Structure 1
């Protein structure tokens, strides 16, 4: 995508709305069915972010506008150290944009594909961080749809239709179109096999999370905190990121698939780095289609334009809340200060 946007960004006035013009586009790092993600730098603060952009026409054609709006509405009200937090949302004629925290370490799937094998201490820390994030979401009455299916999605590898060995991918072979009955059947009939190298305490914790009986299954923060395997965890230290993880992704390298960058440069019909020139040319083109199909699409695009939720976290919260305040908002989970500071 090159190193910059197609033309120099204008000076930024703190009172004006944040727009596409206020970011320098650095590179593409991911994509979805109708949205893509790139690394950007805000020109006034020089802060780095991830920017997700979704094509409006594709979104309308696939009937996804409502889902996008719901995602924006939810993310505006959330802020937590272990969530990808929304900073800005805005739109232009072609796309909707969501600017969020940039996490340069890559995702777990990528590292597993690179044959990284996480030590148990690292997994233990991941569990604690996930627990705190899920507790925060639960306090806001939000359930992530993946977590609703299974709370720990980053360990297992399917070895047969009904037997699962915990190694590298997901524990259950479930797709987005899998019916609820089929999911229930998988949960009831699947046998999970645990590696011999795993400690008995870790296996016990996973079994509690996979318990079929909801009365016995761990479902709250207090369940996890009281479990002997995690009794030495300083939860305040985890939340404040004072625990040094055993695995730290390599700096100075791209921890994602570089194919996204090549695809954006070569295959994308409307590349982001050429947006300004493209929109400027579009404004000069006065020809309009009179077909009923084009008219119907235009009506929906106009409604999307009107109802889109613009957001700027800096205006909503001029001063950053401390980690401790964030923790209090999530319901409070403080432990005694004399606990160990390690996992």
Structure 2
């Protein structure tokens, strides 16, 4: 279903492993996001001595091993604030103030229709709400697995962003609930599957197709940046298509709230992401900000146009060295405007990178590559995509997902590993329950 990845694309925290070659992009496997916690709020042991991975670049032995195994690496040496989510953007926050009563939803309110993906933390299923007959994607996560893998903070961050940000090109939350052993997130169902599914099938996209995808992604990232959120995990696996062919960014577990700058100032030092898409400043542990998303955008656009990321190598350390030092090369069919855009986005010096200035995304939107784009029409989803995913049976179609999973019987699996008393103390999710049907929307940008 996917390739070199963080824990799982649409299926965040499901750790369906794999990538291409040694980090192969096989249909049955995914690499997990890189993680090695340091002195952050959710602390693991301090990392061992560093090992050189490229000139003037160091990474801990634990980190290198974790990356090679496809594990998630996050070195929270900057002591990230985990006190709570950023101010909500589009809807009222449920965890404080004068809030309306929440009508609790449970697993019994849904018909389980298909398995869409699964892994070590849980699975994602297509479900239908019994009273409204609406189709959703339900992510189930086992608390014991989250505690064991130090994913509590990531899960809370994702839950916060899914609820608070409402935007045409971002996946949003409709319901959330929990049991003593599990968490449940009910979100938009995007029947077109992952962008990676289509990139793997078509090998590369036409210029027009890639340009519209890129424009919608720019608007999605801008919506996050306006509210001081950096995404940090842009890649084809984390971009879904609806049945009209428009994109939705999903999987916000590596996102970071309260980031005010493009670079280290007002940023963070957390080492996290997916190997092929890591910005140089993350590899060099110099601190990073919003500009890392624009580097990843450049990597993604390059991949959509050519079929591979610009610095891809099956050897992880060679790939990191290329990200830091190799010249940017283009196939002969890449247009001059695309070359100029990608050169700007893939500039290693953060202050010189396209999008790193005070206007953020506006720099990118003004580039000649996007001269044909009507940004207001894109926002209103009025631009008809060149490609529309096939839809054989209507809203319940799962043909754009991996048959390895969709042929399994959907069920709410019984948890066989119970939480210890200590784990239960860690796995507290106050205010997790959410029902969008009971929330009054608030006007916002």
TM-score, L = length of structure 1? 0.71
- The structure with the larger Rg is 1
Using the alignment, how far apart are the partners of 2:427 and 2:155 within structure 1? 10
Q: Does 1:232 align with 2:372?
A: yes
Matched residue, 1:171: 310
Q: C-alpha separation between the residues in 1 aligned to 2:232 and 2:344?
A: 20
**1:130-162 CA-partner distances (Å, limit 9, x unpaired):** 1100110001111112243612454556xxxxx
> What is the deviation of 1:186?
3.5
The structure-2 alpha-carbon separation of the partners of 1:72 and 1:251, relative to structure 1 and needing over 3 Å to count, comes to same
Partner residue, 2:347 = 211
Aligned residues, how many? Answer: 276
**Conserved 8 A contact 2:171-2:187:** yes
Aligned residues of 1:52 and 1:97 also touching (Cα < 8 A): yes
Give the superposed CA RMSD.
3.0
Q: Does 1:143 align with 2:230?
A: yes
Q: Residues 211 and 217 of structure 1 are in contact (CA less than 8 Å); yes or no, is this contact kept in structure 2?
A: yes
> Shift of residue 231 of structure 1?
2.5
- Equivalent in 246, 249, 258 of residue 403 of structure 2: 258
Which consecutive residues of structure 2, in runs of 5 or more, have no partner in the other structure? 1-100, 235-291
Q: CA deviation at 1:72?
A: 1.0
Shift in alpha-carbon separation, 1:301–1:153, aligned structure 2, 3 A: farther
* 2:167 aligned residue: 80
Q: Secondary structure at the match of 1:236?
A: helix
SS in 1 for 2:354: coil
Distance in 2 (alpha carbons) for counterparts of 1:48 and 1:314? 15
Deviation of residue 240 (structure 1)?
Answer: 0.7
Higher relative contact order (CA 8 A, sep 6+): 1
1:282-310 Cα distance to aligned partner (Å, 9 max, x none)? 9xxxxxx9xxxx7x713422653563611
User: Which secondary structure state, in structure 2, belongs to the residue aligned with residue 232 of structure 1?
Assistant: coil
Tell me the TM-score normalised to structure 2 length: 0.56
Are 2:103 and 2:438, in contact at CA under 8 Å, matched by a contact in 1? no
Indicate how the Cα distance of structure 1 residues 203 and 233 shifts in structure 2: closer, same or farther if over 3 A, else same: same
Structure 2 CA distance for partners of 1:255 and 1:306, relative to 1, 3 Å: closer
Task: Supply the distance in 1 between the matched residues of 2:203 and 2:423 (Cα, whole angstroms).
Answer: 46
Q: How does 1:1-343 map to 2 (within 5 A)?
A: 16-147=103-234, 148=292, 150-154=296-300, 167-173=306-312, 183=320, 185-219=321-355, 220-252=360-392, 254-262=399-407, 264-265=408-409, 273=411, 275=413, 297-301=420-424, 304-305=427-428, 307=430, 309-317=432-440, 329=445
Gaps of 5+ in 1: 1-13, 158-164, 266-271, 283-288, 330-343
Larger proportion of helix: 1
Contact residue 166 and residue 195 of structure 1 kept, 8 A: no
